[in-house]
Amino acid sequence: MFLSDHFIHHTQNQTGSGTPNGEELPAWDLSDLYPSPDSPELKNDLEKAREKVETFAANWQGNLADASGQEIALAIELYQEVSEILGRIGSYAQLIFATDSTDAKNAQFYQYINEQITSISTKTLFFTLELNRISEDALNNKLSNEALLSWKPFLDTIRVFRPYQLSDEIEKVLHEKSVTGRAAWNRLYDETLAAMQVSVQEEKVSLGEALNKLSSGDRQVREHAAKGLGESFNSNLRLFSLITNTLAKDKHITDEWRKFPRVDSERNCDNMIEDEVVDALVNAVTQDYQRLSHRYFALKAKWLGLDKLQHWDRNAPLPDDNDQLIPWEQAKEIVHTAYNDFNPEMGGMIKEFLEKPWIDATLRPGKSSGAFAHPTVPQVHPYILLNYHGRNRDVMTLAHELGHGIHQLLAAKQGYIQSNTPLTLAETASVFGEMLTFQSLLQNQKTPEQRRIMLSRKVEDMLNTVVRQIAFYQFERKVHEARQTNELLPEQIGQFWMETQQASLGPAFEFTPVYASYWTYIPHFIHSPFYVYAYAFGDCLVNALYKVYQDGHDNFQEKYMEMLQAGGTKKHKELLAPFGLDASDPAFWRKGLDVISQFIDELEQA
């Protein structure tokens, strides 16, 4: 509730280090949250939260069962008020940490805030526990009150966990020990990755720079980068294996206490999605490996003139793809035009992000190597982090994260605790924004060869989002299920990784032994177990949704905006119904996967 799954230095200037061509890039200004880590405003908010929590607990602990619907509605409003104060503080600490997690002061501040928030929020734990102990009949009677009825989505979200709830004392222990348990291991992992230096042809580069070289048009550069990455991962393999083993066992112990039936059940509950829907998605993608990734990478091997692809060829550009550097200003124009052509209101929101210091795209040591949009709190605005190298994929990443930003802005009207969208739906606006940008660029390609290059880029991005993420999910299941009985050796984890990667990527690839350690740099495995299938869910959903848009569905833009504005107040069935879509229908996933297959069909005929 108080700290999100996004991991996020503090900078007041609005420009930072540039792209490889020397262009200046934006850096965010976090003063909309707080002026500085030691500011009176932040200290006052911490104190205010402590005072409010004390009063809240004194007034409501032990009294919810007998409270009226009107009284419970008032209590939820107060709970949201405290949650939002802590959410603002926590967001600020996360964003500072993500900008440079190698800075000891940033790490110290991040840990301090984590500990303070955990200490304060422990005193509100009783609230959701007591709400869940109210019987269904009693709660239904209370929901006859209109004020409480407006909070039903929040109540539905917490009551999904009702069957798995423990005693107040155990819940309190689990919550308080998280700062020295899971959160501490997460921090160790983040700091290790951020400090990592990779040797590439006698040059020391950051992890992000080395990963970027895997998209180089020079095969020798890709190979040297891949081997350097493998050496760096292997030098930390025992540590990463210990972190993984510890967190998987920690999760297993908690899952057993709660009596979750499957290793992914907690995530599925959190996503408000049924186990059967997840299984339908995973099965549909797995059954389509041959039709999708196997078929595409056989084509790619032919285009590259190779009998076999190595793992460092997966993201290689095609021979005719010069992938020229795209200046930041041009990237901004590309993405803004795509959104604005679809919906001018969205175009206006994109313009605000691009003109204000809400984006950090700079390349700097110690910065988080990924990309995210952090929603902060409804009273402020989201912040976006990416590392802009000037490549086509970076433009798509900008489009992706801006989609998240729009979604978060539109959902903010639902309030802090009901604006948060389940992960499966949180990827909708981001992937849809990518598709808008792709289609806009595709229409502007002047030759068949340019179109083929654009299509191949898109197919690879879709395979990375769908096939690769489902393979990640299957890897996680193998690790978590095996860890229930024994600690796993690094070699065992590596074997699970190689098995799932070979199955998903197909016979066009051969994998050198060094690839067995490449699971170590995927942060979702550490921070958010089973997060990954949400990407595949979102991509397939958007493919089906975009087909509805292309077919001229009535009032599509209006319905789409309403879907984003709903935030976490509706489940996937309710959100998709206006478009005639149903994720529980196996045919739904086929529609999404068919879009990828049709792109590959066109590439085969080119």
d(CA 311, CA 515): 7
Q: Which residue has the tokens 């939260």?
A: 49
Q: Tell me: pLDDT of 3 over 80.
A: no
Instruction: Find out whether 11 and 23 touch, Cβ atoms under 8 Å.
Output: no
Cα 444 to Cα 277, 326, 437, 441, 447: the distances in Å are 38, 15, 11, 5, 9
Q: Tell me: pLDDT of 13 over 70.
A: no
d(CA 89, CA 78): 17
Q: Tell me: pLDDT of 64 over 60.
A: yes
pLDDT at 20: 54
For residue 170, the tally of other CB atoms under 10 A from its CB is 13
For residue 218, the tally of other CB atoms under 10 A from its CB is 11
pLDDT at 369: 77
Q: What is the mean pLDDT of residues 300-322?
A: 93
Strand-pair category, 203-206 with 309-310: unpaired
pLDDT at 47: 97
Cα-flanking dihedrals φ and ψ of residue 383, to 5°? -120, 140
Q: Tell me: pLDDT of 36 over 60.
A: yes
Q: Which residue has the tokens 């619907």?
A: 69
Spatial CA neighbour of 516 closest among 477, 489, 534: 489
pLDDT at 10: 28
- CA torsion sign for 35, 36, 37, 40 is negative
Q: What is the mean pLDDT of residues 98-127?
A: 94
d(CA 81, CA 68): 20
Q: Specify the higher pLDDT residue, 1 or 266.
A: 266
**What 8-state DSSP symbol labels residue 286?**
H
- CA torsion sign for 30, 34, 38, 39 is positive
For domain 15-185, give the CATH superfamily: Oligopeptidase f, N-terminal domain (1.20.140.70)
Domain boundaries, the chain: 15-185
Q: How far apart are the first and last CA of the chain?
A: 50
Name the burial class of residue 115, with classes exposed (0-12), middle (13-18) and buried (19+) by CB atoms within 10 angstroms of its CB.
middle
Spatial CA neighbour of 432 closest among 466, 403, 461: 403
d(CA 380, CA 92): 11
Q: What percent of the chain has pLDDT over 90?
A: 80
pLDDT at 446: 79
Per-residue model confidence as pLDDT tens digits over 433-456: 999 999 988 888 878 888 899 899
Instruction: Find out whether 395 and 437 touch, Cβ atoms under 8 Å.
Output: yes
- pLDDT mean across residues, the chain: 92
d(CA 52, CA 47): 9
Q: Which residue has the tokens 């879509």?
A: 581
Spatial CA neighbour of 573 closest among 467, 442, 424, 369: 424
pLDDT at 227: 96
Task: Quote the Cα angle for 436-440-444, to 5°.
Answer: 165
Cα 61 to Cα 22, 121, 150, 419, 516: the distances in Å are 58, 14, 22, 26, 51
pLDDT at 287: 95
d(CA 382, CA 426): 14
Q: What is the mean pLDDT of residues 349-378?
A: 94
Residue 35's contacts (CB-CB under 8 Å, 6 or more residues apart) are: 41
Q: Tell me: pLDDT of 535 over 60.
A: yes
Q: What is the mean pLDDT of residues 331-351?
A: 97
3-state secondary structure of 63: coil
d(CA 189, CA 166): 29
pLDDT at 481: 98
User: Sorting pLDDT into bands at 50, 70 and 90, what band is 161?
Assistant: very high
pLDDT at 320: 82
CA atoms within 13 A on the CB side of 513: 3
User: Sorting pLDDT into bands at 50, 70 and 90, what band is 19?
Assistant: low
Residue type, 488: L
Q: Tell me: pLDDT of 334 over 60.
A: yes
Per-residue model confidence as pLDDT tens digits over 463-485: 999 999 999 999 999 999 999 99
Per-residue model confidence as pLDDT tens digits over 553-598: 999 999 999 999 999 999 888 999 999 998 888 788 988 999 999 9
How many residues are present in the chain? 606
Element (H, E) at 383: strand 383-385
Q: What is the mean pLDDT of residues 286-291?
A: 96
Cα 176 to Cα 163, 170, 171, 181, 217: the distances in Å are 22, 10, 9, 9, 50
Q: What percent of the chain has pLDDT over 70?
A: 96
pLDDT at 2: 38
Q: What is the mean pLDDT of residues 205-231?
A: 93
Q: Tell me: pLDDT of 15 over 70.
A: no
Q: Tell me: pLDDT of 17 over 50.
A: no
pLDDT at 391: 85
pLDDT at 280: 92
pLDDT at 21: 61
Q: What is the mean pLDDT of residues 127-152?
A: 95
Q: Tell me: pLDDT of 61 over 60.
A: yes
Q: What is the mean pLDDT of residues 205-233?
A: 94
Q: Tell me: pLDDT of 110 over 60.
A: yes
Element (H, E) at 359: strand 359-360
Spatial CA neighbour of 271 closest among 587, 578, 530: 530
DSSP letter for each residue of 439-464:
HHHHHT--SHHHHHHHHHHHHHHHHH
User: Sorting pLDDT into bands at 50, 70 and 90, what band is 16?
Assistant: very low
Cα 72 to Cα 131, 151, 303, 365: the distances in Å are 9, 10, 64, 48
Cα 197 to Cα 144, 228, 389: the distances in Å are 60, 9, 18
pLDDT at 546: 92
Q: Tell me: pLDDT of 4 over 60.
A: no
**Number of separate helices (H) and strands (E) present in the chain:** 28, 9
Long-range contacts of 221-224 (CB under 8 A, 24+ apart): 222/312, 222/313, 222/316, 223/310, 223/312, 224/200
Q: What is the mean pLDDT of residues 261-266?
A: 96
Instruction: Find out whether 37 and 29 touch, Cβ atoms under 8 Å.
Output: no
Q: For helices 69-99 and 125-133, give the axis angle rounded to 10 degrees.
A: 140
CA dihedral 450, 451, 456, 461 (to 10 degrees): 100
Instruction: Find out whether 300 and 311 touch, Cβ atoms under 8 Å.
Output: no
Per-residue model confidence as pLDDT tens digits over 176-190: 888 889 999 999 999
Distance of CA 282 to the CA centre of its chain: 18
The alpha-helical segments, DSSP class H, found in 143-274 are: 146-149, 152-159, 168-176, 182-195, 207-213, 219-235, 237-258, 265-270
pLDDT at 198: 95
